[in-house]
Amino acid sequence: MTETNETLPERSFGWWDMWVGPDDDPREDGPFVGERATLVGYLRNYRITLQLKTSGLDAEQLARRSVPPSTMSLLGLIRHLGQVERDWFRNRLAGEGAPQLYGDEPDADFNDAAADPALVEEAWQKWRDEVAYGDAYLEQVSDLGHTGVKGDPLRDVLVHLIEEYARHIGHADLLRERIDGRVGQ
């Protein structure tokens, strides 16, 4: 048994306490028809899951760090995934050379994630802007073999983004459970 002076939330799980009820879940269960629909569908679902797992939290909760010395927080994940979207769609595929959203230092998206409502709104807006850019890019390119200016095939970029979101949604599960005990979905 691990000793801690911190009071942790009660762990809770069940259909009664899911992020949304099964009938109201905005994610698609599939089946997706075709490779493109599958890749885009899974990416969309993970984007929605990020929003679900961070819903209802205030700025302090979103900025709360996992465990020392880690700088990981839900707000940091929102910022990081916005930057990931930007890197892959704007820079690697479209070749825009867009600057980093949160600075050039390593882990800037996590390090400066503070409990400030304005920073939270800014992070969500930047994330939404990058998601919208990525969606617009996908609407213009139908061939999954399309290669971006840095040589990355669109198919590989989509798989990478799905992997990136999946990994960080796992982190979000643990972070959220530590904040208020909510688990699942």
Q: Which of 31 and 60 is assigned the larger pLDDT?
A: 60
Q: What is the pLDDT of residues 38-86, one digit of tens each?
A: 999 999 999 999 999 999 999 999 999 988 889 999 999 999 999 999 9
CA atoms in the 13 A half-sphere facing the CB of 59 = 11
Q: Where along the chain do its domains lie? A: 39-180
**1: pLDDT strictly greater than 80:** no
Angle 37-39-43 from CA coordinates, rounded to 5°: 110
Q: What is the pLDDT of residues 158-170, one digit of tens each?
A: 999 999 999 999 9
Q: Domain 39-180: which CATH class?
A: mainly alpha
